[in-house]
Amino acid sequence: MSGNQGIRIIVISFLFVLNFFPGRCSAQMIDSIRLSFHQKAQFVIAFDSRNSFIGDNLADILGAKLGVEFGSKFSVGLSAHLMNEADSHFYKTFTVLSPDNTPVVVQAHLQLFYIAYYAEFVFHSSQYWKFSVPLQLGFGESNYLYSYNFLEKVNDRHLIITYEPIIAGEYKLIQWLSLTGEIGYRFLLIKNPAVPENFNSPTFSIGISIAYLELYKLFVRH
């Protein structure tokens, strides 16, 4: 799938979400997005990690994103995500042969990785507050990894596709530092049939955001 196709899917998703807004509100949102493409664009670099549940266990999904923001109103780009292995409580056993052909049972842990196309619309912005609606469509894989006899082996590798609508808020402390929070939901559109855990889950995060480009302008350019 090309980058243009991914961005097109995200835009279609936004149009789908707009169906749930009153007519005047959705029309204003479409006009804002259209006008934002004629305003100044700048790069966006940010960490994009969040908490979620896999099955009944809390799982930390690490992430980072790189995109382009148009007029501080609408942004698109790519984000990369992987499950924090330190928080992995998901295991599966496999039987392998030892060097002398004796069956040995090994324990493998679950891995999750995906790259997502994202788009984000800012529906409220003031001097200190900003609220937005990010959407993500991710493509990646889940698998089980085990180590035996100084070798690592991946088993049960399979494509996954995720879809994540999110509501995000931000409070600006200073020009380049903000408090952030978000809540959303992860839908697994295509799952790994070899992984029994349920990946559909609420997602949430609370943290800080550093505007690295603002920091660069403040300390380097001056």
The distance of Cα 140 from the centroid of its chain, to the nearest Å, equals 11
State pLDDT tens for residues 175-210: 888 999 999 999 999 999 999 888 999 999 998 887
Architecture of domain 3-84+115-137+163-219: Beta Barrel (2.40)
CB 104 within 8 A of CB 97: yes
Which parts of the chain have pLDDT scores under 50? 1-3, 6-7, 20
Three-class DSSP category at 23:
helix
- pLDDT in the model for residue 21: 54
Beta-bridge partners for 107: 93
Position 57 scores a pLDDT of: 85
Query: Alpha-carbon distance 148 to 1, whole Å?
Result: 36
Looking at residue 87, its pLDDT comes to 66
pTM of structure: 0.80
Q: Is 156 exposed, middle or buried (0-12, 13-18, 19+ CB in 10 A)?
A: middle
